[in-house]
Amino acid sequence: MSQTFRAASIAFAILLVSSAAWGQKSRPAGQPLPSGPADVENRVDSLLRLMTIEEKLGQLNQLSSVWDTVLHRSNASASGMQMLREGRVGSFLNIVGSEATASLQRIAVNETRLKIPLLFGLDVIHGYRTIYPIPLGEAASWDPELAEETARMAAGEAAAAGIHWTFAPMVDIARDPRWGRIAEGSGEDPFLGSAFAAARVRGFQGHLLDSKSLLLATAKHFAAYGGPEGGRDYNTVDMSERTLREMYLPPYRAAVRAGVGTLMSSFNEIGGVPSSASRHLLTDILRKEWQFDGFVVSDWNSVGEVETHGIASDRTSAGILGLTAGVDMDMMSLIYVDELRSALKDGRLKMAVVDEAVRRVLRIKFRMGLFEDPFRGASTVRERAVMMTQEHRALARRAASESFVLLKNENGVLPLTESTRSILVVGPLAESKDDPLGTWSARGEAADVVSIIEGLRRGAPSKTKVTYVRGCGVDDTVRSGIAEAARVAAAADVVIAVLGEARSMSGEAASRSEIGLPGVQEELLRALVATGKKTVVLLMNGRPLVIPWTAEHASAILELWHPGVEAGHAAADVVFGRINPSGKLPATFPRSVGQVPLYYNHKISGRPASEANSFTSKYLDVAWTPQFPFGFGLSYTSFAYSELTLSATVMRWSDSLVVGVKVRNTGKRRGEEVVQLYVRDHVGSVTRPVRELKGFRKIALDPGESKRVTFNIGRDDLAFWNGLMEHTAEPGQFSVYVGTNSHAELSAEFQLEE
């Protein structure tokens, strides 16, 4: 075949698969994408037949940005630009802004041989420019629809800036609060975690991948990254297959069922096999069992780290293991693009393996409509129109207030009323405009944040004087300001101490061996309490903290987490009673770091803890119970549970059971309550947890109002991985518990029969 004829054939084929080759015209409004399964597969196969080995491996290569000192923005490096022009890059991450992404996309669709558009990815975790509460805080709302809404808003901002793909949601179950990345997930429970995983996928991505205002979502980090030994990031994970499947995998599966387009393989090993080289995880479970048809991207250099783990002798071997296991796109190790051609040549890697990975990547690009509109409508005009709108800020304020958890309220200290004439606000985090952003704050800016002191001053009653004294730093040992804070506190009616962690103290590579209040913050609090004044603690942190002294001596404790740009306004809304707090803990607060890991759905053991028997499972120096249990959270009103009913005391194999309970607002304020349903399987072929969350409902009640709340339990809700590693329910006795947290006492029993 002559070179002229071959070039003409390639050009004609490109026209068939990509309208990007026609000057990047967008499809007319209302004209549907040719995105039926058969059509997409035909286009993928047609394009794949045209690709060289270098171009195929290029589609599996993701590069990060550098800072362009001339353009003053993120950009590709000089070598990255060259690789792009050679067709050796399929995706960039950390290139932000419509101008920056468009400039690289123009190179891809105008200057490369096959004109395949790029995917631009970014960690849009809890907001792009408008920053919402950290995911752990948002999970404390127990409102998946709220999380879906904030994810959708974040996606709209990022998409306008040329981003196509977010590396979120993080769906890792975390039972150890020492692990810094607990901040990015939904806590310790697989049922709650699954609900939020699915909601965030729907919010970021929606149901159709070609929406120009949404993003391709990524469920990460597959798998069990949240279970590292010692709570130390990147560390070894070692657990049984049963624990993996029952406690850690459900949120990933929920994300897959919600249609997530990509998953990210994790850094850790599980039982001796790094996740990024685990065919069992990435092929057997993910693709064969769950029928996932998107693609898998590695975490940053996690394919390269397969060699460091010690199961590959060199980079090429690591790449072969990763690609063969099912990691389709290599983030930043450059192994696939640089090393795997030789493996194909000498037969260590089959071309069919490469082709399948390329198909998965191209399939997503076609489904997203990138070949029709590689720019997806991103522009500087659109960026300015959608960033940090009043609608987004209002949502951020509501999301923050719904995430707050009232942990203590002695004698109804909160909310503060007009009778409070003077308030002293103390603490290093009260004036911070940076720390409320939390970890992974994308393009969030401190200048946009309403600090806690700003919000309290604006929100206080007109005749209430609000004074601020710093007192101490977040994590230093300087005590010189403590005495001054105590002196000023003596003249105030109420003291509000804003304490906790800086944003840098949680997130990736931010594990802590001690998770109490850092620095001398507790010394500051002790001095304030010693004045005898009512002392309200506002906690700002990215994980559950160990705060036994605070829990005993503070007058009130309100957990804020890292609440985002509307931190101060939301705090004032709750402190002054405009909003009644309704948050519930998504993770247990231990009494001591020595109790960790501590979680509600533990096994009972052969010698359950008992005060009456020394030879039972407990400690000599601390109670075995948590400081605050999973699901815990108070309100400015009170709720009573009664009249628990079951539709039957015997549930047949094919039936479902209806659980009903009456909930009454017995206080004087309107409030919201999260009604929680737990189940216990008393006897199984393998040991079962003491109880498991199987349902929750958030309801609003006026003073004196009652509502009847119902839940349906089916056989699938009672299923587990039995002694033969079959996922099934087993006949026997079950208890249901309904109440306000995981220590709910109102209970009833039923039998499951085949």
Catalytic residue set: 299
Q: How far apart are CA 753 and CA 751, in angstroms?
A: 6
Q: How far apart are CA 513 and CA 502, in angstroms?
A: 16
**At residue 579, what is the residue type?**
I
**At residue 310, what is the residue type?**
G
Cis peptide before 32 (omega within 30 of 0): no
Instruction: Give the count of beta carbons closer than 10 Å to the beta carbon of residue 271.
Output: 14
Shortest CA distance to 737 belongs to which of 675, 687, 684?
A: 675
* Count of positions (residues) in the chain: 754
CB 669 within 8 A of CB 637: yes
Q: Which residues pair with 503 in a beta bridge?
A: none
Q: How far apart are CA 372 and CA 22, in angstroms?
A: 9
Q: How far apart are CA 46 and CA 55, in angstroms?
A: 14
Q: Which residues contact 672 (CB under 8 A, 6 or more apart)?
A: 580, 582, 635, 698, 699, 700, 701
CB 330 within 8 A of CB 320: no
Q: How far apart are CA 372 and CA 25, in angstroms?
A: 7
> What are the distances in angstroms from CA 239 to CA 74, 111, 236, 246, 272?
41, 49, 10, 11, 10
| 74-80, Cβ contacts within 8 angstroms, sequence gap of 24 or more | 74/100, 75/100, 75/103, 75/104, 76/104
- As a whole number of Å, the end-to-end CA separation of the chain is 69
Element (H, E) at 734: strand 732-739
Cis peptide before 100 (omega within 30 of 0): no
DSSP secondary structure of 110-169? HHSSS-PPPEEEE--SSBSSSB---HHHHHTTT-HHHHHHHHHHHHHHHHHTT--EE---
| 345-354, Cβ contacts within 8 angstroms, sequence gap of 24 or more | 348/316, 348/320, 349/320, 349/323, 349/324, 353/323, 353/324, 354/53, 354/56, 354/57, 354/60, 354/323
Q: How far apart are CA 667 and CA 557, in angstroms?
A: 20
SS3 labels along 543-585? CCCCCHHHHHHCCEEEECCCCCCCHHHHHHHHHCCCCCCCCCC
What SS3 class is residue 713?
A: strand
Lookup result for tokens 């790449």: 319
Instruction: Give the count of beta carbons closer than 10 Å to the beta carbon of residue 565.
Output: 30
CB 173 within 8 A of CB 597: no
Lookup result for tokens 């309550």: 673
What SS3 class is residue 674?
A: strand
Instruction: Give the count of beta carbons closer than 10 Å to the beta carbon of residue 36.
Output: 10
The DSSP 8-state label assigned to residue 442 in this structure reads T
